Amino acid sequence: MNEIKEYTEKLFDDIKHIDEDGNEYWLARELMPLLEYSKWENFNNVIKKAVIAYKNSNNNDSYWLPEIRKPIITGKGKEEFIIDYKLSRYICYLIVQNANPKKKIVSLGQTYFAIQTRKQELSEKQYSELTEDEKRFYQRNLTRKGNYSLNIAAKNAGVKNFDKFHNSGYKGLYNGETANDIARRKKLRYREDILDNMVSDELIANLFRISQTEQKLRNENISLENEANETHYEVGKEIRNTIKKLGGTMPEDLPTPEKSLKELEKESKKLKQ
């Protein structure tokens, strides 16, 4: 696999397993070569970092990383057992977040597991069963929470001009467009929320921009406003490049919904009266 065009989501789907209860999982020993790690010791260090991140998330699930032992035959014909792990989608997401970001497959893996993990946060209804408008409400709620956390991280990084900071991210993701440019292109009214006027796929792209920028600001201890703005731009640009590599639709080419989420909310309230 020498060409980036050969790296697709199918690579991760091909090594996905389903257990007897219908739960999906990946095996660490199969994920390791896909992420281009040749030594178990090095990949195991990445897993350990994911373990720390998982524990810091205050998740009490004790079945997230079951250890299994696989029999192998050594060169001398002797049977030995090696350690492997059953990985949930969320753990895979944390692993690719801690893997070598210079590897192109890691970048694609971050997108794949991040988007799918967000979708799986639904507890009552499978994401695939939602209507497009329901998906929009769901993703909009996540972006709202994400922007709240991002603003805190940005403030700690020395950001004072938040309009400039957020426009830096939009410029990276939208090939130079600011929030006002996006609003004009979508033909929105003055000060109408652009996120309320996005389809679910566009919201997902922005959610990934938001979450990755927050993480980078915190992990790299950024403390200068200009550096924070540049970080937001670079994250947006990298996500744009990833979408292009995956053959996806650029965010500015996605359609604008006929009705904003606020309009849909008003209609819903009227029906309940």
- Give the full edge-to-edge strand order of the sheet including 24-27: 17-18, 24-27, 79-87, 67-73
Q: In this structure, are 132 and 258 located in the same domain? A: yes
How far apart are alpha carbons 122 and 112 in whole angstroms? 17
Of the pLDDT bands very low, low, confident and very high (cuts 50, 70, 90), residue 13 is confident
Q: Is residue 110 part of a domain?
A: no
- Rounded to two decimals, the pTM is 0.60
Determine the structural domain holding residue 235 and report its residue range.
Answer: 121-262
Q: Per-residue confidence at 80, pLDDT binned at 50, 70, 90?
A: confident
Q: Which residues, 6+ apart, have CB-to-CB distance to 75 below 8 Å?
A: none
In this structure, are strands 79-87 and 17-18 parallel, antiparallel, or unpaired?
A: unpaired
- Sign of the dihedral defined by the CA atoms of residues 129, 133, 134, 138, in that order: positive
Q: Which of 88-97, 140-149, 235-244 has the highest mean pLDDT?
A: 235-244
Question: Within a domain: residue 219?
Answer: yes
Domain count for the chain, please give it.
2
* Model pLDDT, residue 21: 67
Domain match, 253 and 130 both: yes
**Within this chain, do residues 52 and 94 fall inside the same structural domain, yes or no?**
yes
Q: Is residue 81 domain-shared with residue 135, that is, in the same domain?
A: no
Same domain, 234 and 195: yes
**Statement to judge: residues 88 and 157 lie in one domain:** no
β-strand pairing of 24-27 with 67-73: unpaired
Q: What is the CA radius of gyration of the chain?
A: 21
